[in-house]
């Protein structure tokens, strides 16, 4: 297979781009954002799973560019809430209200039933249109209050061991995070399939 030198990431999120660039630079692959590629598209995420939503985003960008693309979808799944907010994590509440809304929903849930996990699925489409997906999961529990100032989204209320994700350094979080796990799976695939 021919070597891939550049991948468009279907995002303009600076945190996701930085993480992907750090990982894939080790393979000599440059990761570029939609903005850097002059792509404007915002497909509706109508999928019922993280994989379906990631593929919708990746396919939309691939259809425009014909180039290799990666896209991800991820969210928080709380067991006591039947897996909610799940694929609706981003739309569950405005950013500044996400944690407080979830804590309110969980206020009568005992410690033993506060299990939850973050899940991420990354869709990869190569320049020929071949598709693969890679998943990662980070299992923990929901705390009782917001703690920490690092991270974003639900990180301040998601406990991994005795720390929230928002209390961890970026390196600590990347080593156990759902997105980090999915990225490592994609890295292995790219190295085996498209490496030197």
pLDDT in tens, 84-123: 999 999 899 998 899 999 999 999 999 999 999 999 999 9
Average per-residue pLDDT in the chain? 92
38, 42, 63, 73: which is the annotated catalytic residue? 73
> Is residue 51, in this structure, part of any structural domain at all?
yes
What's the pLDDT at 98? 95
78 in a structural domain = yes
> Looking at the 3D structure of the chain, how many domains does it have?
1
Say how far apart CA 67 and CA 69 lie, in whole Å: 6
Is the pLDDT at 192 greater than 60, yes or no? Answer: yes
Does residue 13 sit within a domain?
Answer: yes
- Per the structure, the complete domain to which residue 51 belongs is given by 6-194
| 1 within domain boundaries | no
Inside any domain, residue 58: yes
Question: Is 63 an active-site residue?
Answer: no
**What is the predicted pLDDT for the residue at 30?**
93
CB 95 within 8 A of CB 153: yes
pLDDT of residue 1: 46
Which CATH number fits the domain that encloses residue 155? 3.90.950.10
Mean pLDDT of 140-152: 93
The answer to whether position 79 is within a domain reads yes
63 belongs to a structural domain:
yes
pTM: 0.89
In a domain, 15, yes or no: yes
């Amino acid at each position: 297979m021919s070597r891939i030198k550049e991948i468009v990431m279907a995002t303009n999120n600076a945190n996701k781009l930085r993480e992907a660039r750090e990982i894939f630079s080790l393979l000599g692959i440059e990761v570029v954002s939609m903005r850097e590629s002059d792509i404007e598209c915002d497909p509706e995420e109508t999928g019922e799973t993280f994989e379906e939503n990631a593929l919708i985003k990746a396919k939309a960008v691939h259809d425009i560019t014909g180039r290799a693309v990666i896209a991800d979808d991820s969210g928080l799944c709380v067991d006591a809430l039947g897996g909610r907010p799940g694929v609706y994590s981003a739309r569950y509440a405005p950013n500044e209200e996400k944690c407080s809304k979830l804590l309110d929903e969980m206020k009568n849930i005992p410690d033993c039933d506060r299990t939850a996990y973050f899940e991420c699925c990354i869709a990869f489409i190569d320049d020929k249109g071949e598709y693969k997906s890679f998943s990662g999961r980070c299992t923990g529990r929901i705390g009782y209050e917001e703690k920490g100032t690092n991270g974003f989204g639900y990180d301040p209320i998601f406990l991994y061991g005795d720390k929230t994700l928002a209390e961890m350094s970026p390196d600590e979080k990347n080593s156990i995070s759902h997105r980090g796990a999915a990225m490592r799976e994609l890295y292995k695939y790219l190295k085996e399939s498209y490496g030197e």
